[in-house]
Amino acid sequence: MKFLTFVCLVVLLITSSVCDRVIVEEELEPFLSSLEKYALTPNAVVFVVDESGSIGSQTYQDVKHFIHLVARRFSVSSEHSRVAVVSFSDFPRTHLNYIKNTQGSNMCKLLKVVDNMDYIGSWTHTNLAMDAARDILVQARPNANKIIILITDGESNSGYSPVDASQKLKQDGVIIFAVGVANVNTEEVNAVATSKDHIYILKNFDYIKQLNTYLKKETNEVSWDYTPDTSMCDNFCENKTNCCDSHAKCYCGTLSGDYQCVCDAGYQGTGGSNTCHRCLKGTYKSTLEKHECIKCPEHSTTPSEGSFSFADCKCEVGYVMAGNYCKPIECAQLNPPEGGVLIPKNCDHTYGDRCELKCKEGFCPFSCHMATSDADAAVLPWNRSPLPSRQCLETGKWTGEDFYCEKMRCPVLDHPLHGKHDCAGLDFEFGTSCQFECEAGYELEGSSLRTCLINGSWTGTQTVCKGTFKFS
């Protein structure tokens, strides 16, 4: 039975646009899912491959395609998965050990070693191979997951069963995947594996070849290993030499296991001759990948072309970098003054924002003395334009002076000669009323009560105290 599954399960291997076009066998899906948990973690992986007589020469060659498929679930590099390959019949043979020595370790060399493995065809001494894998895993990094992938028909010779050895390995934290091939003894395979999801019985080699080819074609690399041997990339162009651009190098993909010309950081293109071009101003590329240069965050740019680091993205005037974006510089929050309002009401306070002040009726912007001395005296101070405004600068300061509104005042009223006044307040703000009285023997002429109006003038007329005395 088969079913459609999202090959997005194959971590970072293929694009989402083709996820629904790959058919993965129901029996294979949990096995791959279990593998992919370790796709980008530090791992020490030992392939233990049965080359006994019961396997057969043709099956041994077909198994190599499955090793390719499994190996591509990991990113083979010194940073992520360090790999070793052991085959066994009468005795174990170590074909490659990048766990002990990582120099030159990459997926391309691993797959080449696997393809070149010869076949012996003899007894099945599986426990000796598991012991050899244990000895190799001792050399692993302390933080690495220790993984064995055993590929066997499960027909171990008497006295050479791997079950006891596998139990001890699992007790030591080693993760064991078991793949059964040929006329498999499933009882031994099941006993060795960490869990049922770590078991796969390989029957259809043509299907594995097809799936492996498809996934390889759709692989998106996560990292590259540099190779100084440029000849590995010399089959990519017609003249078969210097196929990589002068701003590219030959690398091995840590997932695909293919050699490719990859443009240097700061350049984009396919990597072939004359195809690598500098990242445009305002973009950068910091990694060895096939993707286009990445655009700097909004309100930022690079000083020139060919930038290879996000750090080259500098924010425009008035903005400052906050993590991975440019945020506007902030000024102090403006609050409406007593007797006034800000326009807009919820005036913002970041770079470039402009706030205006409008005083309420009976209040003058800044000073009523200045307001009443203006030429256009017919317009009340709080209705005049343009309104005072302030703008937030790149320095984090506002232009202009602090806003304030002064309450409208009337001219000072002196008390009349031979009289007095009683005013509600001494500052003569609008709304203030003054009551006048004259001394005995004097009569009040004019207004006895005067009130300061909103326009800064007094009601009534001037108050005078005139004597009522008569001389004979």
- For residues 151 and 268, state if they share a domain: no
Number of structural domains the chain divides into: 4
Measured from the Cβ of residue 374, the count of other Cβ atoms closer than 10 Å reads 10
14 within domain boundaries: no
Calculate mean pLDDT across residues 214-235.
77
Q: Which domain holds residue 437?
A: 419-467
Q: Per residue in 387-425, pLDDT tens?
A: 889 999 999 999 998 888 888 888 888 889 999 999 987
Q: Which of 197, 218, 239 is the last residue of a domain?
A: 218
Rounded Cα distance, 202 and 208, in Å: 9
- For residues 200 and 63, state if they share a domain: yes
- For residues 368 and 388, state if they share a domain: yes
Q: What is the share, in percent, of the chain residues with pLDDT greater than 70?
A: 92
Burial (CB < 10 A; 0-12, 13-18, 19+), residue 313, is buried
Kindly report the CATH number assigned to the domain that includes residue 303.
2.10.50.10
Q: Which of 193, 218, 243 is the last residue of a domain?
A: 218
Asked whether 412 and 428 are in contact (CB, 8 A), the reply is: yes
Kindly report the CATH number assigned to the domain that includes residue 438.
2.10.70.10
Q: Per residue in 64-122, pLDDT tens?
A: 999 998 998 888 888 889 999 999 999 999 999 999 887 777 888 889 999 999 999 99
97 within domain boundaries: yes
- For residues 141 and 258, state if they share a domain: no
- For residues 447 and 322, state if they share a domain: no
Q: Which of 187, 202, 218 is the last residue of a domain?
A: 218
414 within domain boundaries: no
- For residues 263 and 209, state if they share a domain: no
Please report where in the chains the tokens 């220790």 appear, as a residue.
146
* Residue 57 or residue 387, greater confidence: 57
- For residues 269 and 318, state if they share a domain: yes
- For residues 49 and 174, state if they share a domain: yes
State the pLDDT at residue 361.
Answer: 86
Asked whether 423 and 469 are in contact (CB, 8 A), the reply is: no
Q: How confident is the model at residue 11 (pLDDT cuts 50, 70, 90)?
A: very low
228 within domain boundaries: yes
12 within domain boundaries: no
Q: Quick one: tokens of 188?
A: 């031994």
248 within domain boundaries: yes
When mean pLDDT is compared across 96-100, 111-115, 151-155, 378-382, the lowest value belongs to 378-382
